[in-house]
Amino acid sequence: MALVNALTSSSSDSGSADPAGATDPGRLEPTVSESASARTTGTARAGAASTTPLLIRVTGAATQVYVRVSGGGEVLQQGILNTGEVRQYEQAPLSVVAANAGSVEVVIYGRKQPGKAAGQRGEWFVPDR
């Protein structure tokens, strides 16, 4: 439930301005720490996805993406990912939400997840192995 509330809240207490998200009512406030960013990669290696818990590839329009370690853990991604961006996460379990699920390709432990309708919100869970 906290994940849903985090995505639907429109609080503006972060004090940072983001012109790209300023008009987006579902905007997520940026809170990603430097250390969290350092554990993700901007590009993914071919073949690495089969053992990688989560790979997200933006194949459509830029969209808001939220990735959090499940159970109230650290927020790993909170903000807009642009077309062509790829993020890979080595942690699990994870909760993942995309504002426009039709814009992203989600691969969990090497298995591409079924596509979702453009413009629809998508949610995924990455279990611990």
Domain parsing of the chain, residue ranges: 2-9+30-126
Residue range 57-107, pLDDT digits in tens: 999 999 999 999 998 899 999 999 999 999 999 999 999 999 999 999 999
Confirm if 126 and 92 have CB atoms less than 8 A apart.
yes
Confirm if 101 and 117 have CB atoms less than 8 A apart.
yes
Q: Which two tokens stand for residue 5?
A: 């509330």
Write the burial class of residue 129 (CB in 10 Å: 0-12 exposed, 13-18 middle, 19+ buried): exposed
**CA 4/CA 27 separation, integer angstroms:** 12
Location of structure tokens 């194949």: 59
Q: Per the confidence metrics, is the pTM higher than 0.85?
A: no
